[in-house]
Structure formats: structure tokens, C-alpha cells
Structure 1
């Protein structure tokens, strides 16, 4: 298979999910690496057809509550994961205060905040939050996306509003077959993902 071609099993999620807000953080510099991440050539949320369809159902379920979804990361090429690995070995700590103030950079892998093989590369994992409709303001989740800290875990110490908002998101995602990751309130993987053992490397474009 041509490594540069998007397989037909993958889709642009925004084309499948009406009203999906897309804020692809690794395409820009507003992320824990502080730079555009390798493999991200466009601000596009790519997912397997199955994951996108399930996420569209979540979006529909939330609509009566005047809530919607905003995605921060979707499919992640292996090149992007390799970029994270290189970054974690560098001495630069310029993003520490904003993104990982409570964890030593050298421990980010050991403590499960970064993986050398990411479920995102299988195409059915998504990082996302809730927004209010209309307007698109993000709900308070207690910590920002990619705040690599115990506080971001499903049982992290946050205020009651943030705890309730995290539960709304997790319940909505579970109802459509997504499994939460206990260290990151924003991270979910489709339970019956179509490529459970395949890690892709085509670029996001």
C-alpha cells in the first residue's frame, strides 16, 4: 500500500459529522511539543468510517442539550508519534509550565501520558471536549487538553462543575461504544475498532 495515500476505510470526520468543531492542535504550535508535529499537513480530523459514524451519533445525542463536540486530535501518523518520542528525549522544557508542571519530562512515558505506540495511529481514537451551542464555547473540564497531570485523569481533583462536565462527555461517548482512558478526560477509543493491531503512517492532509 502506498504509505502516502489515505486508505479508503478512513474519512474526514467533519464531512460525516455536521457541526463538528475542529481544532487540530498538532497541526499548529499550541501543543506540548511547541511546534507543528510531523505528519500533520492539514488541520483535518481523520478517523475510520466506523469511529466517525459512532462520533456522529454522539453529536446527535448531545444536540438536545445544546452541546456539541470539538476535536483536538484524531488519527495520528506514526511519524507524529516518533516526533513525540524525540521531543521527550530533548532537554528543552519550554512548555513544562503550561503542559506538564507536575510531571518530570523523563517520566511522561513511564506514567502513561505519552506512548511510543499510540492508539491514535489505528484511526479509531479521538481527543475531544464539549462545547456549548450556539457559540462553541468550551465547557469547563477542570484542566485544558493535553495538560499532562494526575488532575486530568478521570478521577482527578477538579471542581464540581468540571466533574459533571467530564461525566456528560464520558457517558455520551460510552453510550456509542467508546472507551475512556483513565489518565486523560479527553481521550476515547472505539471499542470495536476495525484495525486493532495496525498502526498507520499516511499523513494527515
Structure 2
């Protein structure tokens, strides 16, 4: 058995054991939140230069409100994933770019919120932007919503690339007019990301990383993100240009439910 294999098996065992302890603690007292395993960190402690625009802490997402479990606009990841992301950032900074994360670790409470929303067929407040051509009755069947998410294991993130110097992105104003997420970049909601062909969380086949309709600068930008991350052990979800998972995952079979908050982390207790 190699040292790496032994270490990874140890981490998997630790993840499962800590999940059991956290679940028991939360059950024992309603006011006690589960805590993150020791190998989870705030990304900013590993690389403070990576931009963070945590969409599910805001109402600018396909649900239209802050998502359950997001108590702070904070990117939390397993340490191996955060350290690999730091190296990707180093490589991109040399080329005049920075990474920006939209979502990182996602608690099961948040996934449950998505599921409840998807089953409420009358709530289509954000349809015009995020899923203009998708019937809400098909969100589960088409794979846009699921009852479990790899994000809850802590090594998956949603992210993009921003050209330096980074321009600020204005806040979303609830109730403002919505534009389809696949509209030309200068028409859809302003994002300081380079043009990826669609916005983040666009429920459309145009979001497939290698969709042949995405060409020119948009394709070049997607491939820059893809090649940079894949060279460091990240794996892309082919249906979402923004979705990457660091492999091997320290917690490949464990879905956590501690809140997105600095207080959830070991070094903040």
C-alpha cells in the first residue's frame, strides 16, 4: 500500500467518523450545529487572492432567495482541493487572470431547499434568466436538480475566470428585469467573468463545456479554465462549464450538513 493510498483511506475513515459524531451532536440538541471535519478549510486562508461571489448567499440564483445553510458568503473546501485551487490561481495570475468561485462546499440543507423549490411548480420567479427554455417539470429528469450533490462532499466547486484588473460586479436587485442566461454577454446580468457563452447556473445545453455551438473567444475561455484545472487533478462535469471536482476526494462517500460559516470550521471553534 502506498503512503498516498494509506493517507486517503485514513481521511475517508475520519470523514465518516466525524460525520457520525456531528450528526449525533445535532440530534442531541436542536441548537447544536454540526461541525466540519478537521480537513475542511476556508479557501481565503489558503489563497486570499481568489475572488468569491457566493451566489447562494444572495437572492441572485435560480431560486430567487438566499439558500438554506448559507450563513456567510464563504467558500469552504477540503484542504487538498483548496491547495490545488491555489496552484491553479498561481498559474492564472501569471497570465493576467484570477479565479472566481460561485459555490464551494454546499450543505445538505441547501440541496433539500433546491429539491423543495423544484417540486413547487408555481414558483418560476427566476425562470426568465436561469431556465428560460426548460419546463420546470423536467428539472429532475434532465439532471438539473438532484437529491444529493457532490458539493456536499467538500471537494467540488463552481468557478470561472476573471481578467485582471477585476472590475466589480454590481449587486442584483430583487425584482429587476431578467435576461436569459445565454443572451450575449453585454445583454445578460453583468458579471466580471470572461465570456463563457452563458452565465453561471444556466439550465441549458449551451452550458455543456464542449457544446459545439460555443466557439471563438467563448470556447477559448472555457478551455483555459478546463486545461488549467485538469492539469492539477480536477475533473469537469461535462454538462456544466463551471463545475469541477478535485480528485481523489478525501470524503468520496460522505455528504455533510454543517452550515456555511466560519464557526463551522475547527480553527474557529
SS at match of 1:184: coil
Q: After TM superposition, give the deviation of residue 115 of structure 1 in Å.
A: 1.8
Greater helix fraction, Structure 1 or Structure 2: 2
4+ long deviations beyond 3 Å = none
Alignment partner of 1:88 is 2:143: no
CA-CA distance at 1:159 after TM superposition: 4.0
- Shift of residue 96 of structure 1? 0.7
Larger of the two Rg values belongs to structure: 2
Indicate the residue corresponding to 1:114 in structure 2. Answer: 145
Q: Give runs of aligned pairs for residues 171-190 of structure 1, distance below 5 A.
A: 171-190=227-246
Superposed CA RMSD:
1.1
Query: For 2:78, which of 40, 48, 72 is the aligned residue?
Result: 48
Aligned-pair CA distance for 1:108: 1.5
The separation in 2 between residues aligned to 1:64 and 1:116, in whole angstroms, is 39
Segments of structure 2 that go 5 or more residues without pairing to the other structure are 1-20, 24-32, 168-191, 262-269
Aligned to 1:2: 22
Residue 163 of structure 1, aligned match among 219, 225, 245: 219
More strand per residue: 1 or 2?
Answer: 1
Q: Deviations over 1:141-161 (max 9, x none)?
A: 000000110011112322411
5+ residue gaps, structure 1, are none
1:202 aligns with 2:258: yes
Is contact 1:18–1:56 with CA below 8 Å preserved after alignment? no
Separation in 2 of the partners of 1:184 and 1:162?
Answer: 14
Using the size of structure 1 for normalisation, the TM-score is: 0.97
1:173-192 per-residue CA deviation (whole Å, 9 max, x = no partner) reads 10110000011000001120
